[in-house]
Amino acid sequence: MKVSNRVWNIEASPMRKLNPIVRELIQQGIKVYQLNIGQPDIKTPNAFLNAIQDFSDEIISYTPSEGIPELIKSIQNYYKMYNIHFNEDEILVTNGGSEALLYAFMGVCDIGDQVLIPEPFYSNYNTFAKLAGAEIVAIPTKIEDDFALPSFEKLDALINKKVKAILLTHPGNPTGKVYNQEEMQRIAKLALKHDLFIIADEVYREFVYDGISYNSFASREEIKDRVIIIDSVSKRYSACGARIGCISSKNKQLMKQLLKVCQSRLSVPILEQIGATALFSTPKEYFYEIIEIYRKRRDIVYQSLKQMEGVICGKPQGAFYIIAKLPIDDCDAFAKWMLEKFRINNETLLLAPAKSFYSTQGMGNDEMRIAYILEEESLKRAMYILQEALKKYPGRKY
């Protein structure tokens, strides 16, 4: 009686595996600046709870497997703000972006099939791939190049018969990378040449800074039948705990098959669907203030990192993460050391070791992901703690 190799081989979440230590520290009265996880501190719009307030069904019944019609309508209208047009039957509501991603892997991959993903990438992609029996092939990108995509030739060389899709996070987690038109065109060309799906995880769509123009993969006419969009209310409306997401595609065949998958899990929770219906109707103006908040935070973190000796990082254009290359031996050891050994006035810091965002062995050992999801004073303090920790860390390389 053995558990499967499939689950055995899943790596523990790099963002969550240190949580037990953190809980202990907090109990001991130690303050931990937790920049390891993308849990925003922004208030969820009141519309969410307000919408649920009126709910009074006597029987909490199954809802349609594809999502309640009101929510699908609301998502359609949300997309229209970005000039993206999906029909009702081109949207399936899911248990967060997570389920949408798992279904995307399952929908395009049979056992042993491959998906190309620029690395570093959101580490849970590894888990979804393993659960689906699929393989991730990393597209190498580097912090020194601001995570720019490789040339078409280099991308082309990665293709073999097993590759079924390219998955991109846009804007990127953990990189903050926003793909420019030329890079998107390169991806489109590759997908067309090799008949691939493009899975675009665009859950950070709104979080783009410095007036950079953002384009969804769903806006490109030439690839519209092969694009699969992943979305979620989690980051967009700071509603991570609601677990409402969706998978949208104009590929009728895919959506027809995935509807059967949705039917197997019957439906998505009713209350959060009602709340999310209100969230997706939030006017675009709501984001102006939020984006400004994150932009300022990014600047604090970026400027602080730039001033630290031996630290390399680019200026992220989107999302709320930054990858920093540090003068350290091992990111896991450094993260643990900060929690267990390093204090300034009873305060310490938790960052996400970036090793797990790479699938290529040996990459990211000296990198950390910082989520700038606390208010400015806390971020300043956290960056000061990082700076001092780097000075004292016994595993400092140079």
Window 253-312: residues binding a second copy (CB under 8 A): 253-254, 257-258, 260-261, 263-272, 275
Residue 140 burial by Cβ neighbours in a 10 Å radius (0-12, 13-18, 19+): middle
Q: Which x/- pattern over 211-250 shows residues binding a second copy (rule: CB under 8 A)?
A: --------------xx-----------xxxxxxx------
The Cα 165–Cα 199 span in angstroms is 7
Query: Whose Cβ is closer to a second copy: residue 58's or residue 182's?
Result: 58
Footprint (CB under 8 A) of a second copy, residues 322-361: none
Would you say 107 or 120 has its CB closer to a second copy?
107
Q: Cβ 118 to a second copy, closest distance in Å?
A: 20
Using CB under 8 A as the binding rule, whether residue 16 contacts a second copy is answered as yes
- Secondary structure element (H or E) that encloses residue 321, with its range: strand 321-325
Which of 26, 60, 157, 212 contacts a second copy by CB under 8 A?
60
In this complex, which beta carbon is closest to a second copy, that of residue 168 or of residue 178?
Answer: 168
Rounded CA separation 180/194 (Å): 22
Nearer to a second copy by Cβ, of 197 and 337: the residue is 197
Contact map string, positions 136 to 175, toward a second copy, x by CB under 8 A: ----------------------------x-----------
Parallel, antiparallel, or unpaired for β 321-325 and 244-249? Answer: unpaired
Of these, 78, 79, 86, 197, which contacts a second copy (CB under 8 A)?
Answer: 197
Query: Pick from 61, 213, 345, 361: which binds a second copy (CB under 8 A)?
Result: 61
In the bound complex, what is the minimum distance in angstroms from residue 30's beta carbon to a second copy?
Answer: 20
Contact indicator for 207, 57 with CB cutoff of 8 Å = no
Choose which of 33, 48, 217, 321 interacts with a second copy (CB under 8 A). Answer: 48
Question: Contact letters (x/-) for a second copy, 72-111, by CB under 8 A?
Answer: -----------------------xx-xx--x---xxxxxx
Of 133 and 140, nearer to a second copy (C-beta) is 133
- Give 289 or 309: the residue with its C-beta nearer to a second copy: 289
Binding residues for a second copy, rule CB under 8 A, total 82
Cis peptide before 171 (omega within 30 of 0): yes
Q: Of 79, 33, 330, 26, give the one whose Cα is nearest residue 206.
A: 79
> ω before 140 within 30° of 0 (cis)?
no
Residues in Cβ contact with 64 at an 8 Å cutoff, skipping those fewer than 6 apart: 267
- Mask 110-139, x = binds a second copy (CB under 8 A)? xx-x----------x--xx--xxx------
CB of 156: closest distance to a second copy in angstroms?
Answer: 17
Beta carbons of 21 and 356 less than 8 angstroms apart: no
Distances (CA, A) of 363 to 148, 325, 330: 16, 11, 11
Interface pick for a second copy out of 18, 32, 40, 118 (rule CB under 8 A): 40
Answer for the pair 319, 207: CB distance below 8 angstroms, yes or no: yes
Report the Cα 44 to chain-centroid distance in Å.
Answer: 19
Please classify residue 377 by burial: count the beta carbons closer than 10 Å to its beta carbon, then call 0-12 exposed, 13-18 middle and 19+ buried: exposed
